[in-house]
Amino acid sequence: MDCAVKTQGITILGATGSIGVSTLDVIQRNPDRYHVVALTANRDVEGLLQQCIEHRPRYAVMADADAAGQLQQRLRDAAPDVEVLAGQEGLQRVASLDEVDCVMAAIVGAAGLMPALEAARSGKRILLANKEALVMSGALFMQQVREGGAVLLPVDSEHNAIFQCMPPSFVPGSGHPGGVSNILLTASGGPFRTTPVEKLSGITPEQACAHPNWDMGRKISVDSATMMNKGLEVIEACWLFSTDAAQVQVVIHPQSVIHSMVQYRDGSVLAQLGNPDMRTPIAHCMAWPERIDAGVQPLDIVAVGRLDFEAPDLERFPCLRLAQEAWQAGGTASAVLNAANEIAVEAFLDHRLAFTAIPGVIEATLSHITVREATSLEVILDADHQARVFADGLVRGTSSLGELA
């Protein structure tokens, strides 16, 4: 499916989040190439209402049924031509519509798995910003991409950078690219890269969400602060680029100017550089293999002045270690890892769990839930459910002071 053809139809799953907003900005800058078919959100009625009024999609979907009812009522006068749908059924429908060419998969967490799978089955160009789809069900997801004839393109800034540095003929899921020896996955180190370890237990959600370089949602910001985000990205990279975690080296790069690198067997290292703005990878995936205006300021390399690199400290960032161990365990371990992390991060954001207790909840859940072969979606979803129940019980049994820290 080629998104370079004029007025390509786009569904944005997770339209009111930061990725969705940036996608709409790129679409507005290129109205001769793209139009919005469907926009979705979870419960943000006000946000989706304003987007519907401005962009006039054919469909609007609220994952929450009550929110869908509210949106429908408010759209009757403001934009009566927009059809409101609800729930997983609505999300999957707009991911597979005939008039949709590209699906921006930007729903955060496990909630984005089913509509992303539906887009794969339907042969869409999938702009993947939801890393959990591959973390939870990598083998199954890649199989659906192949069988459905879909094109999978990574939107995460790091994976998009890797993709840009790969051989020109490479497409994610097409096997390990020839000549590549290692992937260097960069990480900013988040807001606590230099914070004394003994002070981390007192970190607040507000501090964890104040990323030094990127403007992201709250959950992803916390994942960046714990470096679980990078651990999930290691797993995602293994699936996208048909490699093993041993060939994916995480490198702390505080400036977030080099978004990732690819090392070749001949000694070459190719890097993708740019200002930290998600509109760059979004525009790259939308127009690939062409290039379009993304509204991003050109990088002033002289003003940057210096580029620093260091190895990650696994004592400071145990979540990175846990993600690597989950990948090595295989099967449903990555789904368990993701589920436990989502429960722990939600509890931290609600002031019910200490920042340093997040990895404790994850590790205890990984130790408790039996790893099975991820032979079907039902097995994966069952592991996800079991992990959530167990992790939630751990959270409810600990105070905000964090006995698991």
Q: List the beta bridge partners of residue 84.
A: 60
Q: Which of 16, 37, 52 is nearest to 102 (CA)?
A: 37
Reported confidence tier of residue 26, pLDDT bands at 50, 70, 90: very high
CB-based contacts of 405, cutoff 8 Å, min separation 6? 201, 354, 356, 357, 360
Per the structure block, which two tokens stand in for 204?
């607040």
List the beta bridge partners of residue 187.
252
The residue-averaged pLDDT of 2-31 equals 89
Nearest to 238 by CA among 321, 334, 148, 362: 334
Residue 314 in this model has a pLDDT that exceeds 70:
yes
- The answer to whether 13 touches 117, Cβ cutoff 8 Å, is no
- Per-residue pLDDT of 336-350, as tens digits, reads 999 999 999 999 999
Q: Which domains are seen in the chain, by residue range?
A: 8-155 (3.40.50.720), 165-277+299-304 (no CATH), 330-396 (1.10.1740.10)
pTM of the model: 0.91
The pLDDT of residue 19 is above 90: yes
Sign of CA dihedral 164, 286, 40, 91: negative
Residue found by looking up tokens 């990574």 in the block:
154
pLDDT at 387 over 90: yes
Distance from the Cα of residue 103 to its chain's centroid: 14
pLDDT of 57 over the 50 cut: yes
User: Would you say residue 111 has pLDDT above 60?
Assistant: yes
Q: Where is average pLDDT lowest: 60-64, 193-197, 392-396? A: 193-197
Question: 202-253: per-residue pLDDT in tens?
Answer: 999 999 998 776 667 889 899 999 999 999 999 999 999 999 999 999 999 9
The pLDDT assigned to 402 comes to 46
For residue 310, pLDDT beyond 50: yes
Q: Residue 262 pairs with which residues in a beta bridge? A: 183, 270
- CA angle 321/322/323 to nearest 5° reads 90
